[in-house]
């Protein structure tokens, strides 16, 4: 009496259907976990580090503080004041800096306001020296 059947003489074919299913499941997984927003949705150009040219120093500076506070060229300002100055000056670009704990929604709101006025918003990392020689960031 045989407990185990002998192997057939021909090789066992590998079924490809389960392999295709696994590939499609992995594809769906990676598609769902990848970024859903296009890369160009929020364009942020970074101001050149290291001082820059005199044209770089002529750009207005807007610092966004964590609690909806604003500083325009180092001085405290309100939202209506900043918008009035933007409409009055009509600069090509504005250098934007933020506190480390500034909400992303505040940054994107100001980026949208600048973009609607045809102004390029250039983001500067915290700690880089501004035109007045002071480092931007929480100490402003």
pTM above threshold 0.75: no
Q: How many domains does the chain have?
A: 1
Q: Which domain holds residue 54?
A: 45-124
Backbone angles phi, psi at 58, to 5 degrees: -80, -10
Q: What is the CATH number of the domain that holds 82?
A: 3.30.420
Query: What pLDDT is recorded for position 137?
Result: 44
> Tens of pLDDT along 91-130?
999 999 988 888 888 888 999 889 898 998 888 876 554 4
Is 30 part of a structural domain of the chain? no
DSSP state of 101: T
Is 107 part of a structural domain of the chain? yes
Q: What is the Cα 9 distance to its own chain's centre? A: 62
Please compute the mean of the pLDDT values over residues 59-79 and round it to a whole number.
89
> Tens of pLDDT along 6-58?
766 777 777 888 899 999 999 998 888 876 655 555 555 555 555 555 555 68
Is 31 part of a structural domain of the chain? no
Residue reference for tokens 């970074």: 46
Is 2 part of a structural domain of the chain? no
Q: What is the DSSP annotation of 1-16?
A: --SSPPPPSSPPPPPS
């Amino acid at each position: 009496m045989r407990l185990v059947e002998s192997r057939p003489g021909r090789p066992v074919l590998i079924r490809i259907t389960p392999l295709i299913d696994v590939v499609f499941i992995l594809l769906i997984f990676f598609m769902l976990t990848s970024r859903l927003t296009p890369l160009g949705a929020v364009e942020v150009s970074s101001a050149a580090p290291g001082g820059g040219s005199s044209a770089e120093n002529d750009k207005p500076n807007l610092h966004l503080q964590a609690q909806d506070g604003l500083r325009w060229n180092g001085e405290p300002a309100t939202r209506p004041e900043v918008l009035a100055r933007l409409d009055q000056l009509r600069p090509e670009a504005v250098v934007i800096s933020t506190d480390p704990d500034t909400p992303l929604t505040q940054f994107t709101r100001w980026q949208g306001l600048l973009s609607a006025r045809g102004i390029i918003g250039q983001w500067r990392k915290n700690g880089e020296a501004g035109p007045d020689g002071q480092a931007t960031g929480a100490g402003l």
